């Protein structure tokens, strides 16, 4: 509902005062109290705030999922460090606070962060193909590259209709292509459909592109 995780996530996160069993549809979280500051209403439906959701994710999911959610909230301009610190202060001593703090540190340090689970799926394919780890969300001029291998002068842009459907995104994409060409960077666009339907072909494209690029000296 808040757009922190991909629509591919099939389970709905629900927080309540009593312990309930999770199933294939609902991921249940328990909290004896939910302060008013942790609540908001979206389309007439009561939900927890962005920052409370991050805490609940730290309780139920791996750190990488929390990093993706934090990065999404930054992208959507809903992240407020002070509000997150308030949530942490209200839950001091909770055993999953270290996971949330570790995810926050990773975001601050820029460690292999991606803007979506689509890009995370691509990163898994790249690792399985034996690709050296790329720089992620790498800035060149006024643009950012999803994945960039500076030693090969090669970059990948992971595209989906969700993130590239408006005129502003269309304009940014074309500016990115021009900026890469001016800097001698090979930019390979890969669609969400190809990642979902044929990861083997994606891996082969990565290996082929790497093989035809000469690594930069030293």
Domain boundary among 109, 133, 148: 109
Report the range of poorest mean pLDDT among 50-59, 133-142, 154-163, 177-186: 154-163
DSSP 22-73: --SSEEEEE-S---GGGEEEETTEEEE-HHHHHHHHHHHS-HHHHHHHHHHH
Query: Which residues lie below 8 Å from residue 7, measured CB to CB, with a gap of 6+?
Result: 162
161 within a domain of the structure (yes/no): yes
Is 201's pLDDT higher than 90? yes
Q: Is 55 part of a structural domain of the chain?
A: yes
Task: State pLDDT tens for residues 158-170.
Answer: 876 545 445 566 6
Comparing 16-25, 92-101, 186-195, 200-209, the range with the smallest average pLDDT is 16-25
pTM of the complete model: 0.46
Residue 91 sits in the same domain as residue 39:
yes
Residue 174: per-residue pLDDT: 82
- Number of domains the chain is built from: 2
- In a shared domain, residues 86 and 161: no
């Amino acid at each position: 509902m808040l757009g922190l995780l991909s629509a591919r996530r099939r389970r709905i996160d629900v927080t309540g005062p009593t312990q309930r069993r999770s199933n294939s549809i609902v991921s249940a979280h328990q909290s004896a109290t939910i302060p008013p500051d942790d609540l908001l209403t979206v389309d007439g439906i009561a939900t927890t705030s962005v920052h409370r959701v991050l805490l609940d994710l730290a309780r139920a999911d791996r750190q990488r999922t929390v990093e993706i959610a934090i990065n999404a909230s930054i992208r959507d301009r809903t992240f407020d460090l002070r509000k997150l610190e308030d949530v942490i202060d209200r839950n001091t001593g909770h055993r999953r606070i270290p996971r949330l703090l570790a995810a926050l540190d990773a975001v601050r340090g820029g460690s292999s962060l991606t803007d979506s689970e689509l890009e995370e799926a691509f990163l898994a394919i790249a690792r399985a193909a034996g690709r050296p780890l790329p720089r992620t969300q790498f800035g060149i001029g006024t643009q950012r590259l999803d994945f960039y291998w500076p030693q090969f002068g090669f970059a990948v842009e992971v595209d989906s209709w969700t993130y590239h459907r408006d005129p502003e995104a269309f304009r940014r994409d074309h500016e990115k292509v021009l900026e890469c060409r001016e800097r001698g960077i090979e930019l390979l666009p890969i669609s969400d459909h190809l990642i979902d339907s044929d990861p083997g072909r994606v891996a082969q494209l990565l290996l082929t592109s790497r093989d035809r690029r000469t690594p930069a000296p030293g």
